[in-house]
A and B are shown apart, each in its own frame.
Chain A
Amino acid sequence: MTDHWAAAIASAEAALRGDASARARASTSVLRLTADAQPPLRPGLGRDVARLTAMLEALGLAEESQALLRHVVSRLVWDPRSISLSTDVRNELAVSLADRGHIPAAGTLLATAAAFSARDEGEGVAGARTLANLAAVKFRLGDLDGAQVDAGRALGAGATDGSLLHRLQIRLLAHAVLAEVARHHGRDTEADELVHKIADSGRQLVRLLGGDHPASLSALVTLARAEFGSARAAADHERQERAVDVLAVAAQKTAATLGSRHPLSHSALVNLATSEFEAAQASGDEARLDGARAMMLAVSQRPEGEPRIVAEPSPAAVPSPYDADAERQATDVRLLDRPSSTVAPGPEPVDEAASLRFGVLGPVRIWRAEEPPAGPLAAGSPQQRALLAVLLLRGGRTAGVAELLDAIWGESPPARPVATIRTYAARLRRVLARGMLVTESGGYALHRC
């Protein structure tokens, strides 16, 4: 641990133990460590990020917590040096990022980890954990089919190594994803069977860890929400109300145990608000529905710096690393033919979009799919490659300028960031197919031409 990391963690802990002066020291230490252009890539990094962000949030230092995460995104996720991070660290970092709404960055870390697990470690618990995480990220990005495939692979990985705790956590997450996908597609019988399995894993987790453990509280919220979905499909209002009551208790218990600013507390509240809103719709009680709407909006307008919800319902996909050719173990976004109606002019574009292949594992690269294979095309500076990676992970949807600024530079943008992004986009258009990189709705999108 470098001095700034150690100092930030020690100060945050001291502040939480009542040392009033330590809060300012924690804030200063975080600002210093985020100024480090090359953060140390070490085994404990994932846990330090998780601990420090949680403590900063509990102290009300939400801006510092978000700055730390933006630093991780801008300096680690897109940094070619991060290829040396272990699968465990990638998963831990992805968890911290996904907890706080940085879904595309979490997806990039996990896609890389999935490829490494498949290549180097076999599937085992590490591979199963990565696949389950990737399934959850894909689900949150709206790629239901991709989520189903990865959740199925996580369960089928035959992981027998690792502890029962790890296996239970993987099963719970994978079954939760599969249940939601099945429910979404109207396969209610299958979804109900999966709810039984969620209950089974959740109950074992509670016996293993005790009721106040965060993983047990998370399992309770997950089960209550899944049960609500089952009751709703069966039009069973009594069961719906019971599930809402349990979610209300779970939300209070989580906030009383971990603090109201903890990501799990926020998630419990999201589950409660969503279920209460759906129950109110079913009840026909207009006053209750008004209250539920107010709760939904209040939850979505948490004070600045609390965990953000940035996932948007959309059919877009996180690229799957298993579409890659075995040689490169790289993510392969296959580009389909599409009329280039929104052509952005650029010199010397390649003729066939379908001939391009992208790698977002490690350094972001572009190849022409040709025989014999040639070297990668020039994808530009690390920031320019970061722009390309963000757009690839959006799967064709528009990425707003604010999101791009956040993903590429975090808290340290250059003097004219919007103009700089425009320059990167222009340079990328020179190597991409005509009409692939389009400007729309105040942002950029990479179309599958």
Chain B
Amino acid sequence: MTSAGCWVELHQAERRLGGGFLLTRRYVLTALHCLRELTSLDDSVDIVLADGRRVLGRVCQRDKDADLALVMISTAYDVKLPVLRAGIAHGGDDWHGPYRPAAVEAHLRGQVDRGTADYLCEGGAVIQALQLTAHQLLGDYSGYSGGPVVKGTPDDREPLVVGILLEQAPDRATPRRAANVLFAATIGEAMRRFDQFDVEHLMDAVHPASSMSPRDGKGDESNIDEAAETAEAWFARIEEWSQRGVLDPSRIAELKFVAAKTAIERRPHGDRL
């Protein structure tokens, strides 16, 4: 897989709104300011995929403080393009942006200056963001907003989407120009911002609460606060995972995975399973 097909462009009628990318087959992530010309009464957008196909979408949630928006792709369409896996970037990593606002514009590439860290964004929220340096000195990076930040170089075998481009830093000597320093919200931050990706909500979606058995032990230790999200969160998660004494139950599926994989590998060429 390459990173070439993961981006999308959002339109309303024939007007280009901005860039974004597929987070899953159902959801597109974009910067909210890309949608500023969208009328508030009409949440419908056309999504032009990297392969040129158009699908219909609807803006399902906006986060003004973090300048993020989530677009759901209509279930009437099925996205065939592969979706890039999410990941985490660290300081010193290479990055590139496969989305560009027009064919004549430059592809952005550069280095991650600082991995996940707090950043006060224009919308007023303190978000987990990446600080990036772009090799291309354009003076103005508007139009790239909403595009994916992909870890590594365009030739990498396994690209990972690690952020969404949101802001540029002004050049302090010439404030009307942008320095080649960009800020991108991490994918983890973006996913925390939307109810659609909330774990309890997802549990409700996949197994509605009304069909559940009555709870036992209700609330007897439920007063533990969710850990504050800080730049140290990743280390905290690793520590939590390291303290388990119980195997990961999600691994139970491995047996079926191996059986299915074996069946695929043994499949006579051209036959359907």
Contacts and interface: CB of A to CB of B under 8 A. Distances in A.
Interface residues of A, number: 114
B15 interface: no
A300 interface: yes
A95 B246 contact: yes
Contact of A169 (B80, B158, B206, B246): B246
B47 to A, nearest CB: 17
B77 interface: no
Interface string A53-89: 0110010000000000000000000000000000010
A181 to B, nearest CB: 10
B250 interface: yes
A215 B248 CA distance: 8
A243 B92 contact: no
Contacts of A303: 157-158
A268 interface: yes
Nearest to A244: B25
B85 A249 contact: no
A71 to B, nearest CB: 18
B200 interface: yes
A269 B250 CA distance: 10
A122 interface: no
Interface SS of chain A: helix
Given A132-B247, A172-B249, A213-B237, A252 B191 contact: yes
Contacts of A345: none
Contacts of A136: 247, 249, 251-252
B115 A215 contact: no
Nearest to A278: B260
Contact of B255 (A13, A92, A195, A311): A311
A16 interface: yes
B251 A252 contact: no
B37 interface: no
A51 B235 CA distance: 9
Interface string B233-273: 11101111111111111111111111111101100000011
B198 A211 contact: yes
A379 interface: no
A267 B251 contact: yes
Contacts of A258: 88, 234, 237-238, 241
A57 B234 CA distance: 13
Interface stretch (A202-210, A333-341, A383-391): A202-210
A281 B85 contact: no
A24 to B, nearest CB: 13
Given A51-B242, A217-B199, A248-B24, A242 B205 contact: yes
Given A227-B206, A246-B202, A248-B25, A264 B250 contact: yes
Interface in A90-130: 91-92, 94-95, 98-99, 129
Given A164-B220, A207-B222, A255-B85, A218 B258 contact: no
Given A139-B252, A169-B246, A204 B215 contact: yes
Given A18-B92, A313-B259, A257 B213 contact: no
B187 interface: yes
Nearest to A205: B199
Contacts of A268: 250
Interface residues of B, number: 86
Given A95-B246, A169-B246, A211-B226, A248 B26 contact: yes
B248 A267 contact: yes
A216 B203 CA distance: 10
Contact of A256 (B78, B87, B255, B258): B87
A31 interface: no
A246 B272 contact: no
A302 to B, nearest CB: 9
A288 interface: yes
A353 B203 CA distance: 52
B246 A259 contact: no
Contacts of A133: 245-247
A94 B239 CA distance: 17
A350 interface: no
B90 A16 contact: yes
Contacts of B237: 212-214, 257-258
Interface in A1-35: 13, 16, 18, 20
B41 interface: no
A180 B252 contact: yes
B85 to A, nearest CB: 6
Interface stretch (A290-298, A318-326, A394-402): A290-298
A225 to B, nearest CB: 5
B203 A203 contact: yes
B254 A273 contact: no
Contacts of A287: 80
B88 A176 contact: no
A384 to B, nearest CB: 30
A296 B259 CA distance: 11
Interface string A225-254: 101000000000000001101101111110
B6 to A, nearest CB: 12
Looking at B215, B254, B261, the one whose CB has the most chain A CB atoms below 10 A away is B254
A312 B250 contact: no
B95 to A, nearest CB: 15
Contacts of B58: none
A411 to B, nearest CB: 23
Nearest to B242: A50
Contacts of A202: 203
Given A176-B249, A253-B188, A259-B88, 10 more contacts: A200-B215, A209-B224, A212-B199, A222-B249, A223-B207, A258-B88, A271-B253, A296-B264, A298-B1, A313-B262
11 contacts: A142-B255, A176-B252, A203-B209, A204-B222, A208-B222, A225-B250, A252-B191, A253-B86, A258-B238, A267-B248, A267-B251
